[in-house]
């Protein structure tokens, strides 16, 4: 089954000016800055403000940055990373024991079953060269009606525990970053806390298998899209065929893969919330060049990544933050309920292939 973008993850309908084609990529670490958030986690108000200023600048200029000194234990990351890798090495039938479906937007999605760019272009392109397993574990005190997470019937030993521990670590890092975001927006640090206690954050574990065959025309590992929640935390491999980010002037740029860092990017709801002051930016994962990684890496050009999509409580009202209003108190978007927005995106994702247009839903 070919799907487009799915619930609780990327896929926005940006203005066409945010689209590009054939733009040369560049390695531009300065355009996607690496920020040491250690002083935010343990520092004085002055130190926290200094970190928040750097974060705010990145959010205004490109909507992407990397964080180091984030406090997430490498053993937690490694355990989930190897468990996920072992899961993707299992036979297809085992991976398909929990399938992504219309009424269950998580679970397993196979090679070429998703086309992320469909939600921004409305065009039929070749399927993305990746497989994913998605899980929404929920908060420590989830709402009674939250969809119960479905774990694979068969999985490597310790899979559920390792993935849950990673999910909780990402939940904690997101909470730190949301406090930092609040400071950067001249708000009380706890501003976002009231709308995250029953969050629907989703962890997407991705596997981009070693490719030997050339891709079909236009085919990518993950086609261009933006995410649509509050923020995304990405852990990535330094493998051939990696992440590229759309810079407004420079075109596609490749953030350096910084050892131990998480890439952070904003989603569409954060862009709405901040009245477009902050950016939800297109990104993609390109295919490796012929022969790249062969003979030099044990896994060839195989790539692995984890994307943690931070989503609010479904009943959280997202409306222009007062400090972000345009002159005269003008907001560019009306209020929207986070869960409704999510469902709207789901509708786009599931009907667009049947001829619906993104604009019909915005």
- Least distance (Å) from ligand AKG to the CB of residue 327? 35
Does 14 sit near ligand AKG (CB under 6 A)? no
Q: Which is nearer to ligand AKG, 40 or 208 (CB)?
A: 208
What is the closest distance, in whole angstroms, from the C-beta atom of residue 232 to ligand AKG in the complex?
A: 7
Residue 328 tokens read as 């005269």
List 101's β-bridge partners, or say none. Answer: 104
Helix 159-184 with 74-88: angle, nearest 10 deg: 130
d(CA 110, CA 100): 9
Residue 234 DSSP SS3: strand
Residue 250 has phi, psi (to 5 degrees) of -90, -10
| Near ligand AKG by CB under 6 A: residue from 307, 348, 349, 358 | 307
Size of site (CB under 6 A) for ligand AKG: 13
CB 159 within 8 A of CB 152: yes
The yes or no reply on residue 163 touching ligand AKG (CB under 6 A) is: no
- Nearer Cβ to ligand AKG (283/310): 283
Residue 238 · residue 232 · CB < 8 Å: no
> Which of 20/186 has CB closer to ligand AKG?
20
Query: Of the two residues 208 and 273, which places its CB atom closer to ligand AKG in the complex?
Result: 208
Rg of the chain in Å (alpha carbons): 19
- Scanning residues 96 to 155, which ones bind ligand AKG (CB under 6 A)? none
Shortest approach of ligand AKG to residue 208 CB, angstroms?
7
Q: What spatial distance separates the first Cα and last Cα of the chain, rounded to whole Å?
A: 26
- Smallest distance from ligand AKG to CB 23, Å: 18
In the complex, minimum distance from the CB of residue 132 to ligand AKG, in angstroms, rounded to a whole number: 7
What DSSP character marks residue 326? B
Which member of 117, 119, 305, 311 binds ligand AKG (CB under 6 A)? 305
Chain Cα centroid distance, residue 202: 9
3-class SS of residue 212? coil
Q: How far is the CB of 111 from ligand AKG (least distance, A)?
A: 14
Q: Is 268 helix (H, G, I), strand (E, B) or coil?
A: helix
The answer to whether the CB of 7 falls within 8 A of the CB of 349 is yes
> In this complex, which beta carbon is closest to ligand AKG, that of residue 104 or of residue 191?
104
DSSP 54-92: HHHHHHHHTSEEEEES----HHHHHHHHHHHHHHHTS-H
State how far the alpha carbon of 139 is from the alpha carbons of 7, 154, 199, 227, 313, in Å.
18, 24, 6, 20, 10
Q: Mention every residue, 6+ apart, whose C-beta is less than 8 A from residue 95.
A: 87, 88, 108, 110, 131, 133, 152
- Please state the closest distance from residue 307 (CB atom) to ligand AKG, in A: 5
The answer to the question of residue 352 lying near ligand AKG (CB under 6 A) is: no
Distance of CA 140 to the CA centre of its chain: 21
Cβ distance to ligand AKG smaller for residue 127 or 320: 127
Q: Which of residues 180-239 bind ligand AKG (CB under 6 A)?
A: 204, 206, 222, 227, 234, 236
Which CB sits closer to ligand AKG, 130 or 199? 130
- Shorter beta-carbon distance to ligand AKG: residue 184 or 222: 222
Print the binding letters for residues 16-55 with ligand AKG: x by CB under 6 A, - otherwise.
----------------------------------------
Instruction: Lay out the site mask for ligand AKG across 255-284 (x = CB under 6 A, - = otherwise).
Output: ----------------------------x-
5, 350 Cβ separation under 8 angstroms: no
Nearer to ligand AKG, 18 or 49 (CB): 18
Name the residue whose CB lies closest to ligand AKG. Answer: 305
Q: Is the Cβ of residue 165 or residue 243 nearer to ligand AKG in the bound state?
A: 243
* Structural contact between residues 289 and 246, judged by C-beta atoms closer than 8 angstroms: no
The closest alpha carbon to 164, from 184, 183, 139, belongs to: 139
Q: Which residues bind ligand AKG (CB under 6 A)?
A: 9-10, 204, 206, 222, 227, 234, 236, 243, 283, 285, 305, 307
């Amino acid at each position: 089954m070919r799907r487009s973008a799915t619930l609780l993850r990327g896929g926005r309908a940006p203005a066409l000016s945010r689209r590009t084609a054939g733009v040369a990529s560049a390695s531009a670490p300065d355009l996607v800055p690496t920020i040491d958030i250690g002083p935010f986690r343990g520092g004085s108000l002055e130190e926290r403000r200094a970190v928040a200023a750097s974060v705010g600048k990145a959010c205004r200029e490109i909507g992407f940055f990397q964080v180091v000194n984030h406090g997430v234990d490498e053993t937690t990351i490694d355990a989930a990373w190897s468990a996920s890798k072992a899961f993707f090495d299992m036979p297809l039938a085992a991976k398909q024991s929990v399938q992504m479906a219309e009424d269950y937007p998580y679970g397993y999605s196979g090679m070429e079953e998703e086309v992320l760019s469909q939600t921004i272009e409305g065009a039929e392109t070749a399927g993305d060269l990746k497989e994913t397993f998605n899980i929404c574990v929920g908060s420590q005190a989830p709402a009674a009606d939250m969809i119960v997470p479905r774990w694979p019937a068969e999985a490597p030993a310790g899979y559920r525990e390792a993935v849950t521990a990673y999910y909780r670590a990402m939940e904690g890092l997101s909470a730190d970053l949301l406090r930092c975001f609040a400071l950067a927006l001249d708000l009380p640090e706890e501003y976002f806390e009231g709308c995250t206690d029953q969050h629907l954050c989703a962890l997407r574990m991705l596997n981009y298998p070693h490719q030997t065959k050339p891709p079909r025309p236009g085919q990518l590992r993950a086609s261009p899209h933006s995410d649509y929640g509050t923020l995304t935390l990405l852990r990535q491999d330094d493998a051939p065929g990696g992440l590229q980010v759309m810079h407004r002037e420079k075109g596609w740029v490749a953030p350096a893969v910084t050892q131990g860092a998480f890439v952070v990017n904003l989603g569409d709801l954060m862009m709405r919330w901040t009245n477009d002051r902050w950016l939800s930016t297109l990104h993609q994962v390109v295919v490796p060049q012929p022969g790249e990684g062969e003979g030099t890496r044990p896994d060839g050009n195989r790539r692995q990544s984890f994307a943690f999509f931070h989503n609010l409580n479904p009943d959280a009202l997202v409306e222009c933050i007062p400090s972000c209003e345009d002159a005269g108190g003008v907001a560019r978007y009306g209020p929207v309920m986070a869960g409704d927005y999510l469902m709207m995106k789901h509708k786009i994702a599931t009907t667009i292939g049947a001829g619906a247009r993104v604009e019909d839903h915005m």
